């Protein structure tokens, strides 16, 4: 029998039981849909994190307390935090010729209040060098001065979202907001940058440390000059800090280090989630095999008649294999389409995308499921004795 005729016969057999064919492919649809959606969402999260790192600026180094180990409880590092302002001064003294600036970073969450409005902001203490380090631009007002840092002035530069929520169309500069129980004068408003910055209220680190009784700084941030190798600077900063600290008291990370670590975690998570979703494909394949075995039993007389008319066991096996592949492949394509539509909806929240490899993998798995789980029913159909098959009722 010609392959074209076999395809037509297989398609005709499937269309005779449309509902059953649709229900049979449902497992494959769900499996492929799950794989595509999970992969696209994880890719969206990865894009979001990459965008956030890009928004930080370039040539940055981050010094965290303790030895950073993702398997440990992160609060352990905070409990044994030995970073201090003297370490900021040490970096300034020993590597000042290679850096644009260095700042301590103190962060806590406080309600920012203006009249009857309030906003849960990230209150961050840093030096005025921080605005250059993070490439922060102002849409109005000014940044705080070194003199205001020295006198622990209660002044603040607010992020775009903070200004929008508290002041709307009103000019915030010159107004006073409450952070905790203290009143701060708004002296500047930042341009819209990213979610990492738009919800922040910046104040002098000396002010934040004193008013909110912060004992230790959260981290230290350094910006290297253009042309300075980040890895070389990292080694020099480590040697500088080891004049006063042990190697387990701090961790220096470049942006590349941090992004690489996050991407490795996300890549592993993506693989695990795709594998879990792939179980649905196996379940769908078992469903296909089960229905095809039922079909072989139901169509025993048809098989006997076709063999009596000259169809070979290969023709019979090929027909049933093609039916299984058609069901699985159609389910895969429907699941792929639904997954792509779901990723478009997800783009309202994150920059989700369906990578090419997930499309190829989904189609490949669908094809493999059809072949693997359709082979046994096809062999069983091909081995039926034509005489016994014709007698079957």
Band of residue 387 on the pLDDT scale cut at 50, 70, 90: low
Distance CA 259, CA 253 (A): 10
> By mean pLDDT, which of 2-11, 60-69, 128-137, 350-359 is the weakest?
2-11
Distance CA 47, CA 365 (A): 26
Is the pLDDT at 73 greater than 50? The verdict is no
pLDDT score, position 287: 78
- Average pLDDT over the chain reads 82
Is the pLDDT at 74 greater than 50? The verdict is no
Residues 133, 136, 142, 146: what is their CA dihedral angle, to the nearest 10 degrees? -10
Per DSSP, 193 falls in state -
pLDDT score, position 8: 67
Distance CA 386, CA 205 (A): 89
Band of residue 204 on the pLDDT scale cut at 50, 70, 90: very high
Residue where the block lists tokens 């006063």: 244
Q: What are phi and psi for residue 84, nearest 5 degrees?
A: -145, 170
Mean pLDDT of the region 58-81? 67
> By mean pLDDT, which of 154-163, 224-233, 294-303, 309-318 is the weakest?
294-303
Distance CA 303, CA 295 (A): 11
Residues 284, 286, 290, 293: what is their CA dihedral angle, to the nearest 10 degrees? 120
pLDDT score, position 71: 47
- The C-alpha angle 148, 151, 155, rounded to 5 degrees, equals 45
Domain ranges of the chain: 3-51+262-391, 104-217
Is the pLDDT at 300 greater than 80? The verdict is no
Is the pLDDT at 148 greater than 90? The verdict is yes
Mean pLDDT of the region 323-345? 88
Mean pLDDT of the region 206-229? 89
Is the pLDDT at 31 greater than 50? The verdict is yes
Condensed to tens digits (0 to 9), the pLDDT of residues 77-104 reads: 555 688 888 999 999 889 988 998 999 9
pLDDT score, position 156: 95
For the ranges 36-45, 78-87, 145-154, the maximum mean pLDDT occurs at: 145-154
């Amino acid at each position: 029998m010609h392959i074209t005729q076999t395809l037509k016969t297989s398609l005709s057999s499937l269309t005779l039981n449309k509902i059953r064919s649709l229900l049979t492919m449902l497992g494959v649809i769900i499996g492929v849909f799950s794989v595509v959606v999970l992969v696209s969402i994880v890719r969206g999260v990865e894009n979001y994190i990459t965008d956030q790192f890009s928004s930080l600026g370039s040539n940055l180094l981050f010094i965290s307390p303790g030895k950073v180990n993702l398997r440990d409880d992160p609060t352990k590092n905070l409990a044994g935090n030995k970073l201090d302002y003297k370490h900021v001064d040490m970096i300034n003294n020993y590597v000042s010729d290679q850096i644009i600036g260095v700042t301590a970073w103190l962060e806590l969450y406080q309600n920012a209040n203006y009249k009857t409005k309030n906003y849960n902001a990230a209150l961050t203490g840093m030096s005025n060098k921080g605005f250059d380090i993070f490439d922060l631009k102002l849409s109005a007002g000014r940044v705080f001065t070194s003199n205001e840092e020295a006198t622990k002035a209660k002044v603040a530069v607010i992020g775009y979202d903070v200004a929008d929520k508290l002041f709307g169309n009103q000019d915030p500069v010159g107004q006073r907001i409450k952070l905790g129980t203290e009143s701060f004068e708004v002296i500047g408003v930042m341009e819209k940058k990213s979610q990492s910055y738009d919800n922040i209220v910046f104040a002098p680190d000396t002010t934040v440390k004193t008013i909110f009784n912060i004992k230790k700084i959260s981290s230290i941030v350094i910006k290297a000059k253009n042309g300075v190798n980040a890895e070389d600077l990292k080694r020099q900063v480590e040697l500088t800090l080891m004049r006063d600290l042990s190697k387990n008291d701090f961790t220096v990370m470049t942006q590349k280090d941090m992004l690489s670590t996050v991407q490795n975690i996300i890549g592993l998570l993506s693989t695990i989630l795709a594998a879990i979703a792939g179980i649905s494909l196996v379940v769908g394949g078992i469903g296909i095999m089960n229905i095809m075995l039922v079909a072989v039993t139901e169509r025993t007389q048809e098989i006997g008649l076709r063999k009596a008319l000259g169809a070979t066991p290969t023709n019979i096996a090929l027909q049933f294999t093609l039916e299984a592949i058609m069901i699985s492949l159609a389910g895969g394509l429907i699941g792929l389409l639904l997954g792509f539509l779901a990723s478009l909806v997800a783009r309202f929240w994150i920059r989700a995308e369906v990578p090419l490899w997930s499309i190829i993998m989904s189609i490949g798995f669908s094809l493999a499921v059809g072949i693997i789980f359709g082979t046994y029913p096809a062999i069983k159909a091909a081995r039926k004795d034509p005489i016994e098959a014709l007698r079957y009722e």
